[in-house]
Chains A and B, each alone.
Chain A
Amino acid sequence: MSTDVARPNATHLAAKRALKRKEAYIGWGFIAVPMALLLFFNFFVFIYAIYISTQDWGILGSKGGVGVENYARAFQDPIFLKAVRNSLLYAAIVVPLQTALGLFLALLVNAKVRGAKFFRATFYFPSIASSAAITTLFIFLMAPDGLFNRFLSLLGINVENLFNSGAWLSDSRTALYSIIGLNAWTTSGTMMLFYLANLQTIDGSFVEAASIDGASKRQIFWFITMPLLKPAHFFVITSGMIGAVQLYDQAILAGGADGSPDYSLMTMVLYIYNLSFRQLQFGYASAIGVLLFIIIFGVTLIQRQIFGSRAWSAED
């Protein structure tokens, strides 16, 4: 009797196990090609970059190991230090600007105003054009006799008396700040969407309860809405920082491979490009890439510490 029961059970179990194994093979099969490409072009390449950074690597490959010499050199290279300064200064200003503007636009669009959907679409519009197109357009608008300066003179500001005579992008004192203005404007549309997504998940009853308790609009914003937007704050600030320290497109379009004028638009990434493809110093360029990675990694860790890790989990 017992064998009669046990036998079908055993075959059933075996069949189940075979089915499970089959599913495992299928699963691996489905991800094999993408995983292989992903591992090769990310992890292998990552380790390879570290290796290259310890070599004197020219156009024909390694001319021998140099240990940490490339790293030591970076800290004494005035152009590299300028690039780090520019990248960090840029990030320190553009991230708060685009975050605040993005939040402000999201709040506007989220308010019950006629045409909110239309405005949402127009506010996002600057974010869809290519950086090449929009930067070129920006250079044109900021030219000494361009639209921006004409607008200033309309307001009664005489451009010729300005300290840079209105040559915003060809004066080393204003070039980086002009690019900051451009990118705060174009990126804020994307940031608006992230804030909007978060705003739409906020339960209206919190706000209602607070206003019944006599909270003012300002109190509701600072003590109810802002804390509830924490996931968006984290995402917008972290991805904004990571993007900002990787400034490249606008810098090369406005300042060429040397970040002209006077290296005022030289960024870390532009310097990596310049060292690789102008000076063919691949080993040194790689060392700077590794340093950039360390900066990005550090910034992410710090922000995670501030905002807590919940916001970054993959599950929800």
Chain B
Amino acid sequence: MKTTNKLRVRILFLAMLAYSLFSFIPFLWSISTSVKPQSEVFEDSLIPKDLNFEAYVTVFTKIQPNFFVLFANSLFVATVVVIIQTSLAAISGYAFARLKFPGRDILFYIVLGTMMIPDQLRLVPIYQILVKFGLITDRPINYAGIFLIKAVSAASIFLMRQYFLTLPRELEDAARIDGCGPFRIFSRIMLPNAKPVIATVVILTFQGNWNDLFWPSIILQSPNHWTLPFGILQFKGQFSTDWPPIMALVVLSTLPVLFLYIFCQKYIINMQLSSSIKG
């Protein structure tokens, strides 16, 4: 009985190890390809015969716009969206959780209801509206379109509200007796106590926007404003089968989320877990 159980655990362990490899090999393969010369791309070995960093030189200097521009654009877009979306979600999530005002519950259901409207239905009208606002242009102002669309996220508001609901009432009462106004209560008392949920919203929003292809591919007009995923889409067309630079771009664009994942793994998984219970 005991030995069969032990055997079963061992088989389970090996199965999981095999699936982990299955999940990792493609990424190892992309790294390996990025340091191979073109002639060696379709050879079986994971370790190249001689290391060749030419692909990275191409990505850093030869493609237009080069990697650093794409990287900076992605970082800029993701950071600004994170700041706007997190602040608006925090303040409205707090109001929905803790303040009493007429229409609160109906408005909250409306917030949740917007999750049903697919982005693709919004595509045409939003594009037309942005054209009217003069935001579809090759000047830097075209980023404003992305920020406007992504300023508010129903999911982020939902996460914030659920968290604020769990904080004890005494926190606010004590501050109110001390004569704090509502905004001070929110910013001085509630926000510092909401660090875990803020971290979650920041990480998830950053990851989602760093990886987003849909809206940037529609809104950003000038190559100088492209983000990394859109850059990959463009260069894949341009380079077609010149795989080492394409793989170098894939590797470089995945590294930031990989680091984010390694350092915030506990946060990402735990918060995904706890937010999905409520979903």
In the bound complex, do residue A131 and residue B91 qualify as a contact, i.e. CB atoms below 8 Å apart? no
Least CB distance, B30 to chain A, in whole angstroms: 5
Judge if B121 is at the interface, Cβ distance under 8 Å. yes
Interface size on B, residues (CB 8 A): 94
Considering only CB atoms, which chain B residue lies closest to A182 in the complex? B26
B202-223 vs A, CB cutoff 8 Å, 1 = contact: the mask equals: 0000010011111001100000
Residue A23 interfacial (CB < 8 Å): yes
B207 and A128 contact, CB distance less than 8 A: yes
Q: 0/1 per residue, A40-56, Cβ < 8 Å to B? A: 01110110110010000
B99 CB–A CB distance under 8 Å: yes
| Chain A at the B interface: SS class | helix
Instruction: Give chain A nearest CB distance to B10 CB in angstroms.
Output: 9
Query: Contacts A105-B19, A140-B246: A300 and B116 contacting too (C-beta < 8 A)?
Result: yes
A235 contact from B16, B128, B233, B276, Cβ within 8 A: B276
Whole-angstrom distance between the alpha carbons of A296 and B276 in the complex? Answer: 21
Q: CA of A146 to CA of B152 in the docked complex: distance in angstroms? A: 42
CB–CB A52/B100 < 8 A: no
**Chain A positions 130 through 156: 1 when the CB is less than 8 Å from some CB of chain B, otherwise 0:** 111110111111010111001000000
Q: Which residues of A contact B12 (CB under 8 A)?
A: 108, 111, 113
| B24 interface contact, C-beta 8 A | yes
B197 at the interface (CB under 8 A from A): no
Q: Which of B118, B151, B273 contacts A293 (CB 8 A)?
A: B118
Give Cα distance in the complex from A242 to B279, angstroms: 15
Q: Is B42 an interface residue (CB 8 A)?
A: yes
Which residues in chain B, 242-279, are within 8 Å of chain A measured between CB atoms? 243, 246-247, 250, 253-254, 257-258, 261, 265, 268-269, 272-274, 276-279
| Residues B214 and A248 in contact, CB atoms below 8 Å apart | yes
A130 proximity list for chain B (CB < 8 A): 210-213, 228-229, 232, 253-254, 257
| Complex Cα–Cα for A45 and B130 (A) | 12
15 contacts between A and B (CB under 8 A): A26-B99, A46-B121, A113-B13, A129-B254, A131-B213, A131-B229, A133-B229, A133-B250, A140-B247, A189-B23, A256-B237, A273-B123, A273-B218, A286-B125, A292-B121
Task: Give the CA-CA distance A253 to B231 in the complex, in Å.
Answer: 11
Residues of A within 8 A of B125 (CB): 45-46, 48-49, 52, 286
| Given known A27-B95, A269-B120, contact A132–B229 (CB-CB < 8 A) | yes
Q: Could you tell me if B16 and A108 are in contact, using CB atoms closer than 8 angstroms?
A: yes
Are A52 and B211 within 8 A (Cβ)? no
Q: How far is the CB of B223 from chain A (nearest CB, A)?
A: 16
A49 to B250, CA, bound (A): 36
A119 touches B100 (CB 8 A): no
CB distance from B221 to the nearest CB of A (A): 11
Mask for B25-38, Cβ within 8 A of A = 1, else 0?
01101100100000
Of the candidates B89, B109, B210, B268, the one whose C-beta lies within 8 Å of that of A314 is B109
Bound CA span A28–B107, Å: 10
The CA-CA distance from A246 to B121 in the complex, in Å, is 10
Contact residues of B with A, CB < 8 Å?
9, 12-13, 15-16, 19-20, 23-24, 26-27, 29-30, 33, 42, 44, 88-89, 91-92, 94-96, 99-102, 104, 107-112, 114, 116-129, 148-149, 151-152, 154, 157-158, 182-183, 186, 207, 210-214, 217-218, 228-230, 232-233, 236-237, 241, 243, 246-247, 250, 253-254, 257-258, 261, 265, 268-269, 272-274, 276-279
Check A35 against B92 for contact (C-beta < 8 Å). Answer: yes
Let me know if A138 and B26 touch, CB within 8 A. Answer: yes
Residues of A within 8 A of B30 (CB): 137, 140
CB distance from A57 to the nearest CB of B (A): 8
- A285–B276 touching, CB < 8 Å: no
Q: Would you give the shortest CB distance from A172 to chain B, in whole angstroms?
A: 19
B111 near A38: Cβ-Cβ < 8 Å: yes
**CB < 8 Å: which of B126, B233, B247, B268 contacts A45?**
B126
Is there contact, CB below 8 Å, between A276 and B24?
no
How far is B6's CA from A189's CA once the two chains are assembled, in angstroms? Answer: 27
Tell which of A27, A33, A43, A235 touches B114, judged by Cβ atoms closer than 8 Å: A43
A235–B278 Cα gap in the complex (Å)? 10
Residue contact A42 to B114, C-beta cutoff 8 Å: yes
**Cα A130 to Cα B249 with chains together (Å):** 12
